[in-house]
């Protein structure tokens, strides 16, 4: 099946810094990618829908200026957590849609100290 | 809007025993249903999906699920589990084939012990 890769898998940063997480579709082109956030022992919550070449569509309650999403190419979407704080610590998962299938990345664990 | 309920947060079971993980959904329109498995610190892997057709859906790793429209359920079953099946299982629903607004349940942790 198709492969979606996220990088980095783990990241620890200081409070106030910005962190970028990449989501790549390795062997296919994805016009649409989704970003989810997962708190410990909880479900995945959709943060935003990312469409190549256009602005991301954010879910209600998700701060657009805090979580910057860019989908500049058909194989890459990035999530930048700006001025990160401890409450932003979470597991972030991306997924890519291609003709009736949704493929998930391995996830990126962000810890903000 | 649609929603998904997984009533069991954790299901302990012995190896080689059968298991059923329950999933109920709520929607005013037709739905597409999915089961995903998540191993620790990993992303999600699709186990099976129901889009249309036969209500009994077979997936990977010996899992199957049955779509029951009257009971709005999509329970996941496996006749004989292995230690390696220990993981978190998520039921998900969408009303759009483009996976827009895919809504996940809270997950069920399957714990298989020897």
Q: Please, which pLDDT band fits residue A23 given cuts at 50, 70 and 90?
A: very high
Q: What percent of chain A has pLDDT over 70?
A: 99
Q: What is the mean pLDDT of residues A21-26?
A: 94
Average pLDDT, chain B: 92
For B113, the token pair is 């012990």
Residue B100 reports pLDDT greater than 90: no
Mutation target vs B (from A58, A96, A102; most B CBs, 10 A cutoff): A102
CATH architecture type of domain B3-113? Sandwich (2.60)
- How close is the nearest chain B Cα to the Cα of A1, in Å? 11
Q: Is A9 exposed, middle or buried (0-12, 13-18, 19+ CB in 10 A)?
A: middle
Write down the pLDDT at residue A43. 84
Q: Omega before A8 cis (within 30°)?
A: yes
Q: Is B4 helix (H, G, I), strand (E, B) or coil?
A: strand
Please report the sign of the dihedral spanned by the C-alpha atoms of residue A46, residue A43, residue A96, residue B103. Answer: negative
Q: What is the mean pLDDT of residues B3-20?
A: 96
CA A86 – CA A95 distance, rounded (Å): 24
Do the chains contact at A97 and B36, CB–CB below 8 Å? no
For B79, the token pair is 């006749």
Residue B41 reports pLDDT greater than 80: no
Could you tell me if A32 lies within 8 Å of chain B, comparing CB atoms?
yes
The contacts of residue B114 (CB under 8 Å, 6+ apart) are B14, B15, B83
Write down the pLDDT at residue B97. 67
pLDDT tens digits, residue range A36-90?
999 877 888 999 999 888 889 999 999 999 999 998 888 999 999 999 999 999 9
């Amino acid at each position: 099946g198709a492969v979606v890769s996220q990088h980095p898998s783990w990241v620890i940063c200081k409070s106030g810094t910005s962190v970028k997480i990449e989501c790549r579709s390795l062997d296919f082109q994805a016009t649409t990618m989704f970003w989810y956030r997962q708190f410990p022992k909880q479900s995945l919550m959709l943060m935003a829908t990312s469409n190549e070449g256009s602005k991301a569509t954010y879910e209600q309650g998700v701060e657009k200026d805090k979580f910057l999403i860019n989908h500049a190419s058909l194989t890459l979407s990035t999530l930048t957590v700006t001025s990160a704080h401890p409450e932003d610590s979470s597991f972030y998962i991306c997924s890519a849609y291609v003709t009736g299938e949704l493929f998930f990345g391995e996830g990126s664990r962000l810890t903000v100290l | 809007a649609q929603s998904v309920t997984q009533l069991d947060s954790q299901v302990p079971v012995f190896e080689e025993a059968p298991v059923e993980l329950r999933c109920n959904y709520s929607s005013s329109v037709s739905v597409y249903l999915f089961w995903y498995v998540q191993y620790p610190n990993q992303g999600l892997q699709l186990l099976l999906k129901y889009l249309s057709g036969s209500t009994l859906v077979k997936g990977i790793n010996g899992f199957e699920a049955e779509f029951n429209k009257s009971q709005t359920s999509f329970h996941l079953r496996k006749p004989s589990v292995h230690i390696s099946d220990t993981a978190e299982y998520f039921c998900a629903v969408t009303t759009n084939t483009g996976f827009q607004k895919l809504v996940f349940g809270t997950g069920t942790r399957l714990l298989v012990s020897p």
